[in-house]
Amino acid sequence: MTRSSSRTLLSLAIFTALTLPALAQAQEAGAADNATPPAGQQTAIDLDTVTVTALRQSLQTAQTIKQEAAMVVDSIVAEDIGKLPDNSVADALQRVTGVQIAQGNQGETTGVVIRGLPNVISTLNGREIFSSSGRGYAFQNLPATAIKSLNVYKSSEASLPLGGIAGLVDIELRRPLDFDGLEIAGTVTGTHSKYGGDVDPSASLMLSNRWDTDAGEFGAMINVGYIGKRYAYDAVWGDFPKVLENPDGTPMRTDAGNLIAAPNGWGTNYNHGDRDRSAFNYALQWKPTENTEVYVEGLYDYVRDNYDQAFLFSFPVGVVPPSSLQVGGNCYANQLAGALQGQTICDATSGSWTGDTYAASSTQAHKQRGQDIQNALGFKWRGDQLRLSTEVTRTSGYYRDENFIIDTFMSGPITTIWDGTSGKHQNWYLAGEPAMDPSRFYLNGLFQTWGESRGEENSWRGDGVFEFLDGPIANIQFGLRYADRTASAKGSVEISTPPPGGAGTGNITATPNPANQVVGLFPANSFFCSKRGNSALSQSFLTPCYDYLIGNADELRAYYGLPAGLAEENPGRFFDIQERKSAGYLQTKYDFDLFGLRVDGLVGVRAEQIKRELNAYSFDASTGIYSAITRETKDTNTLPNASLNLHFNEEWQLRVLAAKTLSYPDFGALNPSISLNPGTVNRAGAASSGNPDLSPIESTNYDMSLEWYFSPVGYMSAGIFYRDIDGYIQNYISNVVIAGEEYELSSPQSAGSGHLQGVEFAYQQTFDFLPGAWSGLGAQFNYTYIEGDTKSPEFIGGPVISRPLQNVSKNNYNAVLFYENFGLSARLAYGYRSRYIDFFTQPTVAGTEDQVEPASSLDFSVSYDVTPRATVVLSATNLLGNNLHQFWGNGDSRPRDIRYQDKTFGLGFRFKL
């Protein structure tokens, strides 16, 4: 889509949002004309009446939660069934103040961070929930249509479970006694995506009812949801920047004597797939008396994802000298250690390389399956002063990925053209389009891998509250919790198997093995599929087809001399961890008047003991042998909290809070073994390991906010926060030699002391004071500024320095203009997140930081109530067509990736019977 058409769509969206009140006013006038009373009869008109719409009600409820909470809480509430404007819980969370999101390489939101930190704990109706062997829940697994509310707790108190120094996200699902009686509601939507190219279906259906009987009140509810998606998530990348060398090995220099840097190579990574997500939740409630309730509820969600990850790449740099080279004026001190460290280095801006260099295409054929299940049985009782509740929960999760890969390379000579970095991305192609000629392709390695992770937990909790009738102490809260959790993972060996007779002799690009020419072995029109070009890669290319690889996997294995079926298990990828947690808390709420002002808050403490048994395999690099090991640990933590809310009047209040929190290391990060993926002709070896000595991340949190609630749907708040963090876990990539072979090793390390601080501002208002239909307008705005650093090694084994925290964007904001009146509802939302460090790489000339500039998004939705129970919805996402950009180090002169974010348009129907 052209830039002009993007501007046209944006203009149309803004025009629609601004003209809806006028259209509604015209509708109102027309309705009044058609309803003219008989002569002599007068009609009373109340100009001060404001219609309480579903949107106003949801905003008011969320505002009430924020105002009455004992902590810093921001919420999204869906008063009307299925009315959240996003597909998944992960997408919906981006609307919350201080929450940032990121897309994964399969075109959906997968990363959720609160105030720059990813250490988030997730709960479902107040109880912990997780996905497979992870600590947190994959929010993208749950359709937003199932949600009653999302509550983001940014400060902690004793009754909340431990695990998130960033905060806690509670997902509240609907229950049957929420409704007055029979309720049947559903949604049906078709969504077209620019890159996926198809119209994708999504649907939901909820059935709920309640009955009054002699045995008490009963309620039953079931809800199902489905999201289908054919997606295309394209990326074009440049490999790490390196010092260019002359054929004699001396560094290449400019006329001024400066070093020259250029990418090590260029490539693409396209992820095209077909994904289905479905979810089912139920709830049964029984209230035998007004003060007693028994309930059973559960959630099941599933994902099925089949996708191909197609690559095209060329690595001519350092193999042949450039045929042409242009150097720009972006110069800096070379940060790579060695004899050239500190010398001035300038980035090349374009070039070409011709020779028998390695260029290849490859397809990774993925089959992914996953599910999360949680069931709970609970009991509640309420007396005059004492409230008691208890609950037993069973949670399990499963995830599996199978990947089958065949590499194909092109015969030489190859000319690689690098057109520079305009548009903040690498622009490159292969001259003469050899990647579209099937006869140029020869078989290289076959690589297959699979990995599986599981998690299970049985837990019990009991809670109580004793209310005091008078005095400064309002109540005492207490509770106990026990959880028995297991997390396990296993996976296959990861070795690239060469084709029969080898890929070639010497320089395989110059002398490929003729027996492995693809067109001589397989029908080219079945084996190869064509992938499109884009603004960064200005050509199409051939790569092995997903369906052919999956459908003929055993035949291809046989050709490579491998047995049928999946690869054997690798002990280096195995772990089995059992974790038992016992916790108790005691907390009091105080509430009294001080100098005529109401003061309330919480003072509490939570104590938790954790016992962990880890079973894995250690690796002896000298012998290449894995040996079984067992590690046992025990830790006890005591976490106090205190808060004070000062109410100046009904509208103004000041919050001051302090609490100690912690996050446990991910289970995979604790695995001490090493998983080895030996290098091939086109990449270095890759290795990964965990660290059983990782300690929990500890944080002492301080928050203060001033809040003004000036109307039922209108408030402003300003807050500051500070986190004193110790032991923040960060991932590092380092170059190591294992058994005589070079690897890039990825491993987690605990950093030293650090801090995170920032400010937040939030505003919400409906413009009820405007005349007529214009009273339906409203706006929301929130802004978060964050900065932080920690003391950590510059790289593993390197000096300890103070450096920024990963994932922290300094500037983050959301701006929303909405309208709802006379059956019309519209919403125009813009979300922005500034640049941040994604992870720390192996040292390069640009340093060790990998920085991301995320894609800001403008989304639009409009709906019309055809009847009080039937609504038509039109929606669009990423109207501006913004994309994600990634860089080696700071600045824009060394792009790593551009990732093309999709643009979608949806048409749906929402109904209630």
Locate tokens 């289970």: which residue?
A: 667
Taking CA atoms, 99 is separated from 90, 608, 725, 751, 829, in Å, by 10, 28, 19, 24, 15
837: left (phi over 0), alpha (psi -120 to 50) or beta: beta
In 240-291, beta strands by DSSP E:
241-243, 259-263, 266-289
Give 15's pLDDT tier (boundaries 50, 70, 90). very low
Task: Indicate the pLDDT class of residue 42, thresholds 50, 70 and 90.
Answer: very low
In the chain, what percentage of residues exceed pLDDT 70? Answer: 92
Note the pLDDT tens digit of each residue in 460-516: 999 999 999 999 999 999 999 999 999 999 999 988 899 999 999 999 999 999 999
At 452 the pLDDT is 96
Q: What is the mean pLDDT of residues 133-157?
A: 89
Q: Which one has a higher pLDDT value, 46 or 320?
A: 320
SS3 363: strand
d(CA 51, CA 37) in angstroms, rounded, equals 22
Amino acid at 637: N
pLDDT band at 1 (very low <50, low <70, confident <90, very high): very low
**Res. 303: pLDDT tops 50:** yes
Reported as a pLDDT band with limits 50, 70 and 90, residue 779 is very high
Residue 527 host element (H or E): helix 524-527
More confident residue, 807 or 596: 596
pLDDT at 5 over 70: no
Which amino acid makes up residue 823?
G
Which residues, 6 or more positions from 879, have their beta carbon under 8 angstroms from its beta carbon?
Answer: 6, 9, 10, 13, 858, 859, 860, 903
Per-residue H/E/C for 639-665: EEEEEEEEECCCCEEEEEEEEEEEECC
Q: How many CB atoms lie within 10 A of CB 368?
A: 17
Helix then strand then coil, in percent of the chain rounded to 5, is: 10, 60, 30
The pLDDT value recorded for residue 721 is 95
DSSP assignments along 546-594, one per residue: HHHHHHTHHHHHHHTTPPSSSPPB-GGG-EEEEEEEEEEEEEEEEEEEE
Neighbours of 683 (CB within 10 A): 15
Q: According to the model, what pLDDT value does residue 410 have?
A: 97
pLDDT above 60: residue 33: no
How high is the pLDDT of residue 744?
77
Enter the tokens of residue 206.
């909820």
| Overall average pLDDT of the 1-9 stretch | 41
174 near 124, Cβ under 8 Å? no
300 burial type by CB count under 10 A (0-12 exposed, 13-18 middle, 19+ buried): middle
Q: Are 477 and 465 in contact (CB under 8 A)?
A: yes
pLDDT at 515: 96
Q: Does the structure show a pLDDT above 60 at 4? A: no
| Bridge partners (DSSP) listed for residue 836 | 852
Q: How many residues does the chain have?
A: 913
Is the pLDDT confidence value at 593 over 90?
Answer: yes
- Strands 414-420 and 427-430 turn out to be antiparallel
Q: 810 φ, ψ to 5°?
A: -65, -40
pLDDT of residue 2: 42
- pLDDT recorded at residue 83: 62
User: Cα angle at 116 between 159 and 672, to 5 degrees?
Assistant: 80
Residue 727: the pLDDT is 84
* CA distances (Å), origin 419, targets 264, 327, 347, 429, 593: 15, 12, 13, 8, 71
Pairing mode, strands 652-663 and 344-355? unpaired
Residue 771 DSSP SS3: coil
Specify the pLDDT at position 78. 82
pLDDT value, residue 213: 94
Q: Which residues of 233-265 are buried (b: 16+ CB within 10 A; e: fewer)?
A: bbbbbbbbbbbbeeeeeebbbeeeebbbbbbeb
The Cα–Cα gap between 194 and 171 comes to 31
Burial of 561 (0-12, 13-18, 19+ CB in 10 A): exposed
- pLDDT given at position 36: 38
Mean pLDDT over residues 620-642, rounded? 88
Task: Measure the CA dihedral 894/268/900/538, to 10°.
Answer: 90
Average pLDDT over residues 221-239: 95
- What's the rounded mean pLDDT across residues 339-365? 95
pLDDT the model gives residue 682 = 60
Confidence (pLDDT) at 795: 62
Q: In whole numbers, what is the pLDDT of the chain averaged over residues?
A: 88
Cis peptide upstream of residue 413 (ω within 30 degrees of 0): yes
- Helix (DSSP H) and strand (DSSP E) numbers for the chain: 7, 46
Which three-class secondary structure state does DSSP give residue 8? helix
Helix (H) or strand (E) holding 396: strand 386-410
Query: Does position 619 have pLDDT exceeding 90, yes or no?
Result: no
pLDDT band at 115, cuts 50/70/90? confident
What predicted TM-score, i.e. pTM, was given to this entire model?
0.88
Q: pLDDT exceeding 90 applies to what percent of the chain?
A: 69
- Which single residue is written with the structure tokens 């028994």? 294
Q: Which residues pair with 489 in a beta bridge?
A: 453, 575
Say if residue 417 is exposed, middle or buried (CB neighbours under 10 Å; 0-12, 13-18, 19+). Answer: buried
CA angle 179, 185, 191 (to 5 degrees): 140
pLDDT at 82: 56
pLDDT at 43 over 50: no
